[in-house]
Chains A and B, each alone.
Chain A
Amino acid sequence: MAVINVKQISKRYGTCVALDGVSLQVNPGEIYGLIGPDGAGKTTLFRILVTLLLPDEGLAEVDGLDTVRDYRKIRSRIGYMPGRFSLYQDLSVEENLDFFATMFGTSIAENYENIKEIYAQIEPFKDRKAGALSGGMKQKLALCCALVHRPSVLFLDEPTTGVDAISRKEFWNMLYRIRRSGVTILVSTPYMDEAALCDRISLIQKGRIIETGTPDEIVGRYPHQLFGVCGEPAYPLLKFLRTCPGVLRCFSFGSEHHVAAEPGVLTAGGLQAAVEEAGFRKVSVRDIRPNIEDCFMELAKENDYGQG
């Protein structure tokens, strides 16, 4: 039985459609990722699930409880960490934690085991005002505050946005430890590389879920053959590749261009020869495995055509 069950949820802000018939199921004990660019509707879906927003249409259940009817019961069973740091900056670390524990009718001492591993890292600064903490420590404090009442479901809205690479890695390790204690986690992120760290993901764009599955499944469903092409000068190369026969799409990924082609139409060697012939320097072409971002770009394109 799904811990989070979303059925055909829609939400409009005036004429702007934030969510358009979104459905998803999250199983107990999973880390479920909601992956999509800014403005895709991730935060709106989170706010509906944590009972801060009412959906226009559709049904959402958390832990078997309806988000509209049983909102009060849901609130004591979930932990929510909004995208923006929103603890009391003028209260100390310990006071914040104590305050939120009390608001949920519990205490730090009662649930110390639950947060120990994370709290231990910020405990040396427990008398410091929350506003004076570094980004990574703020994030840990917010996570502690969201966990202090032993929630069965944890909602993390873009927890790693604006956090450095090392802290992000650390944060994911913390999530794995939390999962081990049986907590189901729904996490949203605009970073495609974090998608691979989730058990299952949904790709969301313009208020619609465009793909759902494990990261491997989604990558496996990628329909094209993919090449990584390097060369100089880079931008004319991108334009040239898009005009090559057999090339479906071409996107720039850092220093490399990802070229999608119908399977079996092009080979790495053939492409290399064509690019060199056109006068580009330092050319290298290799076969690559698609990543989530390739899949997202592909699906986003399809979704756009579907709408247009």
Chain B
Amino acid sequence: MTLWYLLEKEFKQFFRDPGLPKMAIAFPVLMMLVFPFAVSMEIRNINLVVVDENRSEVSSELIHTCTASGYFNLVEVCSSPERAMDLMDRNRADAILTIGSDLDRKLGRGEDLPIGIKVNTINGTKGSIGAGYLTSSVRQFYARKNAGQGEGVASPSLDVSPKYYFNPFLDYMKFMVPALIVIAITMLTGFFPALNIVSEKERGTIEQINVTPVRRSAFVLCKMIPYWLVAFFVLSACLLIAWLVYGYSCAGSVCLMYLFTAFNIMVTAGMGLLISNYSDNAQQAMFITWFFMMVFMLVSGIFTPIASIPSWAKALTYLNPMRYYAEAMRAIYMKGSTFLDLWKDALGLLAIGSVMIAWAILSYRKTN
């Protein structure tokens, strides 16, 4: 009964707040409509300079293959490597493709092709992705040429053709959709409860609650439940937008996504409450929450793979709840993983969540 009333009060306050309900709607919508474009790592418009020393039909076909991929802007076809370097120095060229003078002769004879690739790696991502595109264009060209020569011609090198599972076209947006859901939910459910309790502190209403016989576990629980619902709403909205706007759908069970979201809220809401217990005002709570969110996000595997960070930091990511949540959400959305595949992530979230909530309840003192 008391619990119900506490909840009713939370909801009344939530819906009467001039900003909160709007935020809960605007945040996922903006997140889903704007961010997939803004954070896309797909690289287009790579400025390409070709040094063509061959000047044959074959070499112009190679150049055509590269430009036809749509990733490159052909800046210039020049004959001297010095001229090409000069262009790169002046930042006019991102990549240089050098075609040796004996390309047409060597092709088809099973010899190494005299093709060189130079990339400008001031922007590392653009450089490495550019090199990748260029290599695959050359490979594509080579494969076609070989096929044209018919059977019996020895392949000069192993033909590596990667097949991208679960996201065959390396569609970055599809990759980001579950990640953005993770960010939106973690942010909302991390900040709201912390600010909510701190505002009760600032207004002194917490004192009035503290002199009532209400149990602190009931009080803390009632600060968490509303954000559970907010998170479910946000998740539904995000999935719906992804489907309507981008045509993406979840490969796995949507219910499983809700389950992991519920686990994640235990963590974020618990953490929010914990932070609010140790902060006296909204600024403090904001700053501490923001700090943890940033750290969690940067080493969660959302933007950069966890595998590529140093091993000491990798060990720390086991304490990062967002790592488990992001991993699970991506796996469900893109691969259709089941709970059996993800039980480790579930365990990680539940373990961190229980610690957070227990700590939050214990450190919330009605008396000090």
Binding site for B on A (CB under 8 A): 50-54, 71-72, 75-76, 78, 80, 82, 84-91, 95, 98-100, 102-105, 145
Which of B5, B207, B212 is the most central at the interface, judged by chain A CB atoms within 10 Å of its CB? B212
**Would you give the shortest CB distance from B210 to chain A, in whole angstroms?**
6
In the assembled complex, which residues on chain A have CB atoms less than 8 Å from the CB atom of B25? Answer: none
B213, CB-defined interface residue at 8 Å: yes
Q: Is the CB of B207 within 8 A of A52?
A: yes
In Å, the complex CA distance between A72 and B366 comes to 10
Q: Which residue of B lies closest to A82 (CB)?
A: B207
Given A99-B9, A103-B2, A104-B213, CB of A86 within 8 Å of CB of B368: no
B213 touches A102 (CB 8 A): no
B211 within 8 A of A: yes
CA of A90 to CA of B199, assembled, Å: 12
A76 near B9 with CB under 8 A, answer no
Can you name 10 A-B residue pairings with CB atoms under 8 Å? A51-B211, A75-B211, A76-B213, A78-B211, A82-B208, A85-B204, A89-B203, A99-B5, A100-B212, A103-B212
The 8 Å CB contact of A54, one of B207, B208, B367, is: B367
Q: How far is the CB of B287 from the nearest CB of chain A, in Å? A: 24
User: Would B5 and A103 count as touching, CB distance under 8 A?
Assistant: yes
Report chain B residues within 8 Å CB of A75.
211-213
- Secondary structure of the A side of the interface? loop
Q: List B residues 209-242 near A (Cβ within 8 Å).
A: 209-214
Q: Is the beta-carbon distance between B1 and A52 smaller than 8 angstroms?
A: no
Is B121 close to A, CB under 8 A?
no
Which residue of A has the minimal Cβ distance to B8?
A99
Partner of A80, one of B9, B203, B211, B214: B211
Provided the pairs A53-B368, A95-B12, A105-B2 are in contact, do residues A86 and B213 lie with their beta carbons within 8 angstroms?
Answer: no
In the assembled complex, how far is the CB of residue A107 from the closest CB belonging to chain B, in whole angstroms?
Answer: 10
Contacts across chains A and B counted by CB atoms under 8 Å: 71
Asked, given contacts A52-B207, A86-B205, A103-B212, whether A91 binds B367 with beta carbons under 8 Å apart, the answer is no
Q: Does B91 contact A (CB under 8 A)?
A: no
Please judge, given known A-B contacts A86-B204, A100-B208, whether A105 and B213 are in contact too, CB under 8 Å. Answer: yes
**Cα(A52)–Cα(B368), bound, Å:** 6
Across the two chains, which residue of chain A brings its CB closest to B16? A90
Which B residues lie within 8 Å of A104 (CB)? 212-213
Q: A145 CA to B213 CA in the complex, in Å?
A: 14
A103-B2, A104-B213 given; A90·B207 CB < 8 A: no
Q: How far is the CB of B319 from chain A (nearest CB, A)?
A: 33
Q: Per a CB cutoff under 8 Å, which of A71, A89, A98 touches B367?
A: A71
Q: Decide if B9 touches A52 in the complex (CB within 8 Å).
A: no
By the criterion CB–CB under 8 Å, are B207 and A86 in contact? yes
Contact A52 B213 (CB under 8 A): no
CB contact under 8 A between A52 and B367, given known A87-B208, A102-B1, A105-B213: yes
Chain B residues numbered 1-43 whose CB sits less than 8 Å from any CB in chain A: 1-2, 5-6, 9, 12-13, 16-17
What's the least CB distance linking B13 to chain A, in Å? Answer: 6
